[in-house]
Amino acid sequence: MAAREKPKVKLPEKSKKIKKDITCENAVEDALKASEQNFRNSLDQSMNGVRISDNADHTSYVNKSFLDIFGYKDIQEVISSPPQERYTPEAHADWVVRHEKLLRGEQMPKHIEVDIIRKDGAMRNLEISMREVFWDGKEQNQTLYHDITERKQVEYALKLSEQNFRNSMDNSIIGIRISDQNDHTSYANKALLEIFGYQNIDEVKKSPPQEHYSPAAHASW
C-alpha cells in the first residue's frame, strides 16, 4: 500500500502574523548591524583621526589615523593618558573650558584649532570638529582630528617672508611707494617721507600728485 501523505498543518492567522513580525524584526536588525559595520569601516579607513568618547571623556574608540597623529600604539595608551599629556598647556586650558561647557550642556563650537603634543614630544597643529553620534546604542561624542601642521608652517613662512620684505623696504635708503593704478598710496617707507618732507603716510595719501611735482614734471606724470 502507498504511504499516506501527512496532512499539512495550517497555521492559524495569528501564528502567521507572529512569524512575519519576527522575520521583519530580524531583517531590520541585520540592516542596522550592516549599517553600523559600514560606519565603523569608514572610520577605520579615514585619513582624519577619529575618537569616540562620552561626556566624561572616556574613550571607547580611536582609529589608526588618530593613533598615528598622537603617536600611540593602541587605544589602551590613549585611555591611560590624561588630557594634559595630549595638549600644550594653553590648549589644555582651553580644553578644560570646553569640557565644562559640554557638561553644562552648552553649545560647543563646530570647528577649532588646537596644539597637541605627540607621545614622542613633537608638537602638531590640528583642526578638530565635533558632533554627536550613536555608538553601541548610546549617545556619544565623535571628534575628528585633521593635521594642519604643514599648512600652518607654510603660512608662518609666508608671513615671515612678507615681514622680511617689509623690513628691507622700511630700512632702504631709497624712497619706496606702493600704489594702485588710480595712484592711491598703500605704503611709503621712511626714506620717501624724508625725501618729500612728509611726517607720515596719511599726509602722502591726502596730497594730490600736482603737489609732489613741478608743473612740467606733473604734466609728464
The set of cell numbers assigned to 11 is 497555521
pLDDT higher than 80, residue 215: yes
pLDDT, tens only, 167-194? 999 999 999 999 999 889 999 999 999 9
37 vs 106 pLDDT, higher one: 106
pLDDT higher than 80, residue 18: no
pLDDT higher than 70, residue 32: no
The sheet with strand 138-147 has its strands ordered as: 59-62, 49-53, 138-147, 123-135, 111-117
pTM assigned to the model: 0.61
pLDDT band for position 63 (cuts 50, 70, 90) = very high
- As a whole number of Å, the end-to-end CA separation of the chain is 125
Write down the pLDDT at residue 26. 66
Pairing of strands 49-53, 59-62: antiparallel
Task: Tally the residues of the chain.
Answer: 221
Domain spans of the chain? 47-152, 172-220
pLDDT higher than 80, residue 41: no
What number is the average pLDDT over the span 78-106?
Answer: 89
Write down the pLDDT at residue 62. 94
187 neighbors 172 (Cβ within 8 angstroms) = no
pLDDT band for position 157 (cuts 50, 70, 90) = very high
pLDDT higher than 70, residue 9: no
Phi (first) and psi of residue 75, to 5 degrees = -65, -25
List CB contacts of 188: < 8 A, sequence separation 6 or more.
175, 176, 177, 178, 198, 201, 204
Helix, strand, or coil here: 12? Answer: coil
194 neighbors 220 (Cβ within 8 angstroms) = no
Helix, strand, or coil here: 64? Answer: helix
* Domain at 47-152, CATH class: alpha beta
- Alpha-carbon gap, residue 191 to 174, rounded angstroms: 6
- Alpha-carbon gap, residue 41 to 38, rounded angstroms: 5
